[in-house]
Amino acid sequence: MTYAGERETTEGRVFTVTGGDWDTITNNIDPLSNEKIVVNMGPQHPSTHGVLRLVLELEGETVTEVRPVIGYLHTGIEKNLEYRNWTQGTTFVTRADYLAPLFNEAGYCFAVEKLLGITDQITERANTIRVLFMELNRISSHLVWIATTGMELGAISMMLYGFREREYILDIFEETTGLRMNHAYFRPGGVAQDIPDSAIKKIRDFLVYLPKKLKEYEDMLSGQIIWQERTQGVAVLDVTGCLALGITGPVLRSAGLAWDLRKTMPYAGYEDYEFDVPTATTADVWGRYQVRMAEMRESLKIVEQALDRLKPGPIFVADKKIAWPAQLAVGIDGMGNSLEHVAKIMGQSMESLIHHFKLVTEGFRVPPGQVYIGIEHPRGELGVHAVSDGGTHPYRVHMRDPSFVNLQAIPAMAEGALLADVIAGGASLDPVMGGCDR
Amino acid sequence: MTTPENSTGGVPVSADPVGADIDAPAQTPSSPRKGMFGITGSGDVSGFGGLVRRHPEVVGSPKPYGSFFDEVTDALEEAYPGFADAIEKVVVDRGELTLHVKAEKIAEIAQIMRDDEGLRFELCSSVSGVDYLNSDARRLHVVYHLTSMTYRRRVRVEVAVPVDGTVPTVTSVYPTADWQERETYDMFGVVFTGHPNLTRILMPDDWEGHPQRKDYPLGGVAVEYKGAEIPPPDQRRVYQ
Amino acid sequence: MGIEEKLPAGILLTSVEKLSNWARKSSFWGATFGLACCAIEMMAAGGPHYDLGRWGMEVFRASPRQADLMIVAGRVSQKMAPVVRQIYDQMPEPRSVISMGVCASSGGMFNNYAIVQGVDHIVPVDIYLPGCPPRPEMLIDAILKMREKVMATPLGPNGRKMLEARKAAGQMPIVAPGAMPSSYRVDKVRRAEWTQAVKDGREEQLRIENWMKLQPHLREGGK
């Protein structure tokens, strides 16, 4: 009676286990130490950060081979973009990596603006708002990271704390953009709406509130022997490995290389902000944890500088052929175009009417060409390769998502380690399957 | 507007579709060369239906290229003896350098780009494809974005192959291209010879067709909304 | 479910039915089926701010064999569809499905080759929850409606017979369980209003009228 299908391979006997009583299986097999079992982890599993499937070959508790299988969340975002105009693309792109939606939008908008050639015309206020929100989003993404990683390694209360702090940031986002997630706030040419003063007050309160909490969480985790045992020396990937596999972001910085696109190839005015790039030398999960906690603090610094830098001004590029023709205000029946603006379009200015019409029906045209933009996403380098053929729809937009590239490192980190280290390693890479599969 | 004898509780009943023509043919690549509104055979007498767009041609840029581009091309020429053969076109556009290269030579060129002292493009940021339908026989382009951390600059290398064409893999030089080439194969059908594991990565393993190609339909369904039927995005009227 | 189902139709069965349904609705155990952005909102609903623990749902069971509510949260791609079905099949009866978000309900904004246009193509859905993503409060509202539906489920074949008998005798509640909007359910007067409107077949009209009453520029009956 067989309970586990077995076959001889060049590497010995391989057993496929799909269920059944463990004792019966082991009793039917030779009690030698070099049997392999194939375990399928996912795509539905609490620890796979979304729908990641890992096919593991185990010898006892040691992993001999791990093959990640992705594609369970492939949405065809890139193809959908080809059937929408350039401004509508923001709403699609924002749902790729759903934990850092503003970064997706930022990458896409920078690419479109480079194609349009208006990168220098983006107003200072728009750039400052973009930096401000990107850093807030970085903090919220890292909070989700520490929450889910903590939960997966067993520190379940970290999940509650992380999501609790994140609610403050989502509140700020909702105040400004109207949505908690997937905002479609950054548009090619600027940002959709201005920040209300109530949101600025919330941000300032948050800046005072979070550092105390971060210290609390660090005290809770860093000194804890179980956390240290599970993260130190686990899932090591040194600089050569990282560069060969194209890993960027906190994983690369935990290996010691201070490569941060905000410093090395700055965009959106990042060269004017004062902040450090935290690195670690241990290249393990512990190092990545240190790097991400430190990055949250650096982001708080940038947020503060951005708030101080915020001066009144336009939030959209001045070119009327690109700027979204809305001036929103809250009226008696909710938010919509302000009445003066409607009166101006309908009654006074023929030009505004024509611009409004053309922009809403067609969208603006982007001169033909292709660009590649790289920004520093919480997980690494987010690249956007945008190709235009001169029309109102993107011809091809490819997002080089950091999670997609970083996941290639799982075999390198996990093979030879214990099963629990696969979880820790995978969690430390911070993959978000929405971005990975797009 | 509800009528007193509406007995469905205010829920719209399905009726005949109103509005767009759901039998319209799927829209092929965006920005069609002819026509303005993306539909044909309607009663449109505006004359915009006869509009013909010139297809944008990509022309090589003349030397000197400016900024760091000359450095890069000169270093590559020095280090790679087959430079004149392999490079088809050099385009400088919007502050970026694009080298159009013959498909067979990409692995050698990648090796030199990574190892040569003057080039040092250690990181392959992205490998992706573009389908230039209606351009010429070599319609599938594979685009490699290389980043030099030492010199803090980027370069793009582009190869073009026809639909059944093959491209040598660069995974021996840049292992990061592994999954990215798999994605390009999955989405476009470009076969990378020498790849350790060229299988579908995003679509299910038994999927037929290569979705990101321009002649692959978007594949949506018509949506019923408040009594009307809205066709899927690729069959709607679109203002180009 | 056991001996309870074999009870003869009558007052004993209805009491046991009520008890069993109350126990089921008060202790939904969700199966972790978070796919995309909606999963994050689901996790936020389980977080301290919008606490699902108030309804006994803070624990999400990883194993579908121990779960009775599958919240399909996020877009279901073609590759994921057989997995959804398999997880659903592994759940023991009685089970329910909430499709959270527009992508799960109807394909959402992704009307294309890669996304299944509505998870009801794969599994039977009890409550559809639109939103992109729906706020945690909307998810809680959907769960509360689910609880109402569960409370009205018949128990066993005898229970179903009793339900048929009630239907035949015209004794069904006017508003289907789970169909009343929460803003009407909270207030006795409004509940009666809604029930009357459903009887007359004009609940959409009632909603519109009440909304118009709240608009400041229409309060005087419109100008």
Query: Can you tell me the ipTM of this complex?
Result: 0.84
Q: pLDDT of chain C along its 223 residues, tens only?
A: 677 777 777 788 888 888 888 998 888 888 878 888 898 999 899 889 898 888 888 888 778 888 889 999 999 999 999 999 999 999 998 889 999 999 999 988 898 888 999 998 999 999 999 998 899 999 999 999 999 888 888 888 878 888 888 888 887 888 888 788 888 888 889 888 888 888 888 888 888 888 888 877 666 654 4
Do residue A160 and residue C40 have CB atoms under 8 angstroms apart? Answer: no
Q: Which amino acid is at A25?
A: I
pLDDT of residue C223: 46
Could you tell me the pLDDT band of residue A184, with boundaries at 50, 70 and 90?
confident
List the Cα angle A38/A43/A44 in 5-degree steps. 110
pLDDT over 70 percentage in chain A: 92
Give chain A's count of helices (H) and strands (E): 18, 12
Kindly report the backbone phi and psi dihedral angles of residue A75, in degrees, each rounded to the nearest multiple of 5, phi listed first: -110, -10
pLDDT of residue C211: 84
Distance (Å) from the alpha carbon of C109 to chain B's nearest alpha carbon:
10
Alpha helix positions (H), A178-324 = 197-222, 225-231, 239-245, 250-254, 261-264, 285-309
pLDDT of residue B45: 65
Searching chain A, which residue's CA lies closest to the CA of residue B126? A400
Distance (Å) from the alpha carbon of A79 to chain B's nearest alpha carbon:
6
Neighbours of A204 (CB within 10 A): 13
CA distances from A251 to A69, A104, A380, B127, C167 (A): 21, 20, 8, 21, 63
Size of interface A-B (CB pairs under 8 A): 135
Do residue B223 and residue C106 have CB atoms under 8 angstroms apart? Answer: yes
Q: Is the pLDDT of residue B25 over 80?
A: no
Is the CB of A243 inside 8 Å of chain B's CB atoms?
yes
Cis before A43 (ω within 30): yes
Size of interface B-C (CB pairs under 8 A): 48
pLDDT over 90 percentage in chain A: 39
Nearest to A150 by CA among A431, A437, A423: A423
Q: Is the pLDDT of residue A3 over 60?
A: no
In sequence order, the 6+-apart residues with CB closer than 8 A to the CB of A330 are none
Nearest to A322 by CA among A130, A127, A112: A112
pLDDT single digits (tens) A140-171:
999 999 999 998 888 888 989 999 999 999 99
Start-to-end CA span in chain C (Å): 61
Do residue A43 and residue C80 have CB atoms under 8 angstroms apart? Answer: yes
Q: Which of A80, A398, A403, A404 to mutate to test the interface with B (most CBs of B within 10 A)?
A: A398
CA distance A8 to C37: 43
- Residue A51 backbone zone (phi > 0: left; psi -120 to 50: alpha; other: beta): beta
The set of chains that have 3 or more CB pairs under 8 A with C is A, B
Distance (Å) from the alpha carbon of B215 to chain C's nearest alpha carbon:
13
User: Which candidate from C114, C201, C203 shows the least CB-CB separation from B7?
Assistant: C201
- Residue A29 is given by DSSP the state S
Distance (Å) from the alpha carbon of A9 to chain C's nearest alpha carbon:
29
pLDDT of residue B6: 40
Section A254-265 average pLDDT: 91
B 186-215 residues with CB below 8 A of C?
A: 203-204, 207, 211
Distance (Å) from the alpha carbon of B38 to chain C's nearest alpha carbon:
19
Distance (Å) from the alpha carbon of C18 to chain A's nearest alpha carbon:
33
pLDDT of residue B18: 39
CA distance A341 to A331: 12
User: Which candidate from A43, A46, A98 shows the least CB-CB separation from C36?
Assistant: A98
Distance (Å) from the alpha carbon of B7 to chain A's nearest alpha carbon:
31
User: Which candidate from C44, C135, C216 shows the least CB-CB separation from A332?
Assistant: C216
CA distance A213 to A292: 15
CA distance A270 to A108: 17
Q: Which of B207, B210, B226, B229 to mutate to test the interface with C (most CBs of C within 10 A)?
A: B207
Q: Please give the mean pLDDT across all residues of chain B.
A: 78
CA distance B215 to B213: 6
User: Which candidate from A83, A244, A257 shows the least CB-CB separation from B30?
Assistant: A83
Least reliable range by pLDDT among A291-305, B8-22, B143-157, C151-165: B8-22
pLDDT of residue C97: 93
Q: Is the pLDDT of residue B80 over 70?
A: yes
In this structure, what token pair is assigned to residue A170? 């989502």
pLDDT of residue B92: 87
pLDDT of residue A269: 86
CA distance A382 to A265: 13
Section B187-201 average pLDDT: 91
User: Which candidate from C32, C79, C135 shows the least CB-CB separation from A46?
Assistant: C32
Judging contacts by C-beta atoms under 8 Å, the chain C residues touching residue B219 are: 112-114
Given a contact cutoff of 8 angstroms between Cβ atoms, the answer to whether C154 and C163 are in contact is yes
Given a contact cutoff of 8 angstroms between Cβ atoms, the answer to whether B128 and B180 are in contact is yes
Q: Is C121 helix (H, G, I), strand (E, B) or coil?
A: helix
A 343-372 residues with CB below 8 A of B?
A: 361-362, 368-372
User: Which candidate from B55, B145, B234 shows the least CB-CB separation from A383?
Assistant: B145
- The four Cα atoms B39, B40, B44, B45 give a dihedral, to 10 degrees, of 130
pLDDT of residue A107: 93
In this structure, what token pair is assigned to residue B89? 């076109």
Q: What is the largest CA-CA distance in chain A?
A: 89
Q: Which of B187, B212, B223, B230 to mutate to test the interface with C (most CBs of C within 10 A)?
A: B223
In this structure, what token pair is assigned to residue A433? 């399957």
Kindly report the backbone phi and psi dihedral angles of residue C72, in degrees, each rounded to the nearest multiple of 5, phi listed first: -80, 100
Residues of A with CB under 8 A from a CB of C: 43-46, 50-51, 71-77, 79-80, 91-92, 95, 98-99, 144, 159-160, 163-164, 166-167, 170, 180-182, 332-333, 433-434, 437
pLDDT of residue C220: 61
Which residue bears the tokens 């890992």? A54
Q: Is the pLDDT of residue B30 over 50?
A: no
In this structure, what token pair is assigned to residue A37? 């079992």
Do residue C111 and residue B223 have CB atoms under 8 angstroms apart? Answer: yes
Q: Please give the mean pLDDT across all residues of chain A.
A: 86
User: Which candidate from B29, B126, B234 shows the least CB-CB separation from A383?
Assistant: B126
CA distance A250 to A292: 7
Q: Is the pLDDT of residue A130 over 90?
A: yes
Given a contact cutoff of 8 angstroms between Cβ atoms, the answer to whether A78 and A399 are in contact is yes
pLDDT single digits (tens) A229-238:
888 888 898 8
Searching chain A, which residue's CA lies closest to the CA of residue B156? A372
Nearest to A126 by CA among A82, A51, A188: A188
Is the CB of B11 inside 8 Å of chain C's CB atoms?
yes
Q: Which amino acid is at A272?
A: D
pLDDT of residue B9: 43
Judging contacts by C-beta atoms under 8 Å, the chain A residues touching residue B141 are: none
Nearest to A168 by CA among A127, A211, A125, A131: A211
E strands, chain B, where? 87-93, 96-101, 123-131, 140-148, 153-161, 166-168, 191-193, 223-225, 228-230
User: Which candidate from B8, B10, B232 shows the least CB-CB separation from C111?
Assistant: B232
- The four Cα atoms B99, B102, B103, B109 give a dihedral, to 10 degrees, of -60
DSSP calls for A206-232: HHHHHHHHHHHHHHHHHT-HHHHHHHT
Could you tell me the pLDDT band of residue B10, with boundaries at 50, 70 and 90?
very low
Searching chain A, which residue's CA lies closest to the CA of residue B155? A372
Of A85 and C219, the structure prediction assigns the larger pLDDT to: A85
Distance of CA B166 to the CA centre of its chain: 17
CA distance A112 to A388: 9
Given a contact cutoff of 8 angstroms between Cβ atoms, the answer to whether C166 and C73 are in contact is no
Nearest to B75 by CA among B99, B44, B45, B47: B99
Judging contacts by C-beta atoms under 8 Å, the chain C residues touching residue A434 are: 36-37
Burial level of B129, CB count in 10 A (0-12/13-18/19+)?
Answer: buried
Do residue C36 and residue A170 have CB atoms under 8 angstroms apart? Answer: no
Q: Is C131 helix (H, G, I), strand (E, B) or coil?
A: coil
pLDDT of residue A41: 86
β-bridge mates for residue C73, sequence order: C34, C100
User: Which candidate from C112, C198, C202 shows the least CB-CB separation from B218?
Assistant: C112
Least reliable range by pLDDT among A44-48, A202-206, B89-93: A44-48
In sequence order, the 6+-apart residues with CB closer than 8 A to the CB of A265 are A374, B152, B154
- Residue B47 is given by DSSP the state S
